[in-house]
Structure 1
C-alpha cells in the first residue's frame, strides 16, 4: 500500500466536494441529539473554534478529497499522511488500546492484517483492518454533522488491480457513536495509485 494515492470521488459528490447547506444530513443516521448539535452549526464561527481541524478528524479524514502518502514509520507502524489538512495517521500493529492515551483528532489506531486463503504456492493476501478510538469530537461532514469522543472507527483497506493495470485502494469505514448516531454510519472511499508525488501539495486544515 505504500506510495502516493489520489482520491476519486465516486459517491456523495455533493457532500464531499462542496459544503452542504445547513440541515442537509442525508444518509447520516443522526439521533435527536445529533440533529440538535448539527442544527447549531454556523461556518463563520467554526473558523475560530478551539479545534479548527474538526473537519479533518480520523472519522471523516479519508472522505476529504485529496492525496495520501502511505509509508512505514517503523517496523510495526504504518503511516498515512494527507495533503488535505496536513494530517498524519499512525496504524500500530500488535498493539492494544490504552486508556491512558491522550485523545487527539486522529486518535489511537490498532492495525491487523486479515489474511485470505490462497492456492498452494501463492503468496498470502490480506486486507488491512484498523480500529481507532481515543478521538476528540469532530465532524462527519463539513456542515457540522457531529461525532463525539465516544465514537469508535473501524476501517478496512483493500488494494485492488483494475483490468487495465491501475491500482486502487478502497477504504470501507464504519463509525459507531452512541451519543449522536442511531446505527453505524458506513461509507466506501476510493483512491487511485499515482506513479510518484505529482500534485502532492499539503495544505493546512481550515473550516470550509
Structure 2
C-alpha cells in the first residue's frame, strides 16, 4: 500500500514537470472552455466499483485505508452523528475532499468561459473550478478550486485506472485549498482547514460508445494524515437527467 501510494505520488510530481502548452506562439492563451481537450459537461452517475464499504455505508471507527495519525484516529473514534445533527452540521462529509466519492449524480456545466461548475444531487452541493486567477475566499466546505488543463502527458487517472483505449489527449487538474474542516467519509474521518486536495479528471470513451470520467484525488493534511491519501472514482455519462434527485445532506 505504501509503495503503491509512493509510486502514484511520483507520477503526479513527474507529470507536473511537463507544464501545459496553451498560449505558446506569441498570442494570448485561449479561454479555458475553448482550450478544453475534452467535453466533460452533462450528467454523470457514480460507478461504485471500488471501496464500496466506505462509500456506501461506512461504520464508525472504520478508517481502514486512511493514513490517519493518532489525533485523526481520536477524532474519528469520538464522532457523534447526533451532535452533528443538533449543531446543524449534516454536510460535513459533503465537502470537496469527500463529495465526489459519495454515490450520486453530478451535473457539470460551464458557468462562463473560465469557470466550470459541478452540481451534486447528494447534499445539493456546488463546486466551482476557476481557470486563471482564483478569487479570494474559501473557509467553506468546497474551498477555493483552481483549475488548469494539462496537455502532453498521460493523466494520473489513467495511470491508476488503466487506459482503456479511448482516453483524450489531456487532463483537468484541480487544486483546492482554504477548506472548512470536514469529513473524508460519512463516519467522521476528519480533514482539517490545512488540507490540500489535488484532483485529476480524465475522459475515457469505450468502443461501445460509453463515456467515463476517471477522477484520481490526492489529499494532503498535516493535521490528521501521516502521508498523502490517494483515491480513485469513476463516473458514467448519461444521455439526459434521468435519476437526478437532489437531496439534502444526511448524517446517517
Shorter-chain TM band: over 0.9
Q: Determine the structure 1 residue equivalent to 2:20.
A: none
User: Does residue 12 of the first structure (1) align with residue 51 of the second (2)?
Assistant: yes
Correspondence 1:1-208 to 2 at 5 A: 1-18=40-57, 20-96=58-134, 98=136, 101-116=137-152, 125-208=169-252
Whole-angstrom CA distance in 2 between matches of 1:64 and 1:204: 13
User: Bigger shift: 34-43 or 80-89?
Assistant: 34-43
Q: Determine the structure 1 residue equivalent to 2:160.
A: none
SS of 1:203's equivalent in the other structure is coil
1:66 Cα shift? 0.2
**Structure number with higher helix proportion:** 2
Whole-angstrom CA distance in 1 between matches of 2:56 and 2:142: 22
TM-score, length basis structure 2:
0.76
Gaps of 5+ in 2: 1-39, 155-167
1:97 Cα shift? 6.6
Whole-angstrom CA distance in 2 between matches of 1:21 and 1:7: 21
**Structure number with higher strand proportion:** 1
SS of 1:44's equivalent in the other structure is helix
1:164 Cα shift? 1.4
Whole-angstrom CA distance in 2 between matches of 1:28 and 1:78: 29
1:69 Cα shift? 0.3
Whole-angstrom CA distance in 2 between matches of 1:95 and 1:178: 26
Whole-angstrom CA distance in 2 between matches of 1:117 and 1:128: 11
Q: Determine the structure 2 residue equivalent to 1:121.
A: none
CA root-mean-square deviation: 1.5
Whole-angstrom CA distance in 1 between matches of 2:186 and 2:54: 8
CA displacement, residues 45-92 of structure 1 (integer Å, 9 cap, x when unaligned): 221234321010000000000000000001100000000000000000
Gaps of 5+ in 1: 119-123
Indicate conservation of the 8 Å contact 2:71/2:224, yes or no: yes
Indicate conservation of the 8 Å contact 1:97/1:110, yes or no: no
